[in-house]
Amino acid sequence: MGNGLSGKSRMNITVYCGASLGNDSAYQAAAKKLGKWIADSQHTLVYGGGKLGLMGVVADTVLAHQSKVIGIIPQFLQDREVLHPNLTKTVIVESMSERKNKMVELGDAYIALPGGPGTLEEIAEVISWARIGKNNNPCILFNEKGYFDSLKSFFSHMVKEGFFTQRDFEKILFSNDLQEIETSHQGTPKLPITDASVSPASALTMSHDNALRTTQALPSKNAPPFRHFRHTHPLSA
């Protein structure tokens, strides 16, 4: 067993979630519950910077409870006036890819609330990085109303069919229980956390062992470094 959230103070919690509210008020309640926990724990929220949907709900909740929120948003979304106006810090980037990389770089843990394909892509990437040993931070799917049950079953199917290992599967937490989230432990990668050097998409097309060897040989222009849990960040001061 490896790193979890228990005992870690003043973390940056990266939250992925939908720009829609969903069809059930339970999802909004889940976003508020998570936001309150982030604030009560004196963590900082890192998220996509928007004011709409569950993104706005979790940000509003953290701010209402006197904690910090860092929003990462591309210029074109700011131009569409979807930027949350009251964030502690706002980082404007040029592209969705840059936004995603910055959210990963700043995060000490990654939590996905219910959302659409974009949310799934974001949490899948950090799970992929964990698989090749480039991320030992917790990857959590906030499983409100069993929203991610089908995804959990699909990961299990990947294991059964030989495309995912049981060990990697067990590193992912599916839960909406904040106590379980706080005290859970994730698997620790075998490799030290260094500059990432192969994208998860390409690495996962290779065998796990080959991917680990290749990380030292293939340069990457865009992959962010992953680090162990950090207690200070240049953007969270």
171-184 tens-digit pLDDT: 999 999 999 998 86
Average pLDDT over residues 186-198: 35
| Sign of the torsion angle spanned by Cα atoms 6, 18, 88, 39 | negative
Find the mean pLDDT for residues 153-166. 97
The upper half-sphere exposure of residue 187, i.e. CA atoms within 13 Å in the direction of its Cβ, equals 19
Q: What is the pLDDT of residue 165?
A: 94
**Mean per-residue pLDDT, 143-168:** 97
The position carrying tokens 């207690």 is 231
Where is pLDDT greater, at 109 or 191?
109
Q: Would you call 216 exposed, middle or buried from its count of C-beta atoms within 10 A (0-12, 13-18, 19+)?
A: exposed
pLDDT tens figures, 53-89: 999 999 999 999 999 999 999 999 888 878 999 999 9
pLDDT of residue 9: 74
pTM above 0.75, yes or no: yes
| Residue 84 phi, psi dihedral angles, 5° rounding | -70, 130
96-144 pLDDT, tens digit each: 999 999 999 999 999 999 999 999 999 999 999 888 877 789 999 999 9
Looking at residue 131, what is its pLDDT?
A: 86
Position 208 pLDDT exceeds 50: no
- For residue 50, give the 3-state DSSP assignment: strand
Residue 197 to residue 169: CA distance in whole angstroms: 23
Nearest to 45 by CA among 78, 16, 83, 20: 16
pLDDT band at 4 (very low <50, low <70, confident <90, very high): low
What is the sign, positive or negative, of the torsion defined by CA atoms of 225, 226, 231, 235? Answer: positive
The full set of domains in the chain, from first to last, is 12-189 (3.40.50.450)
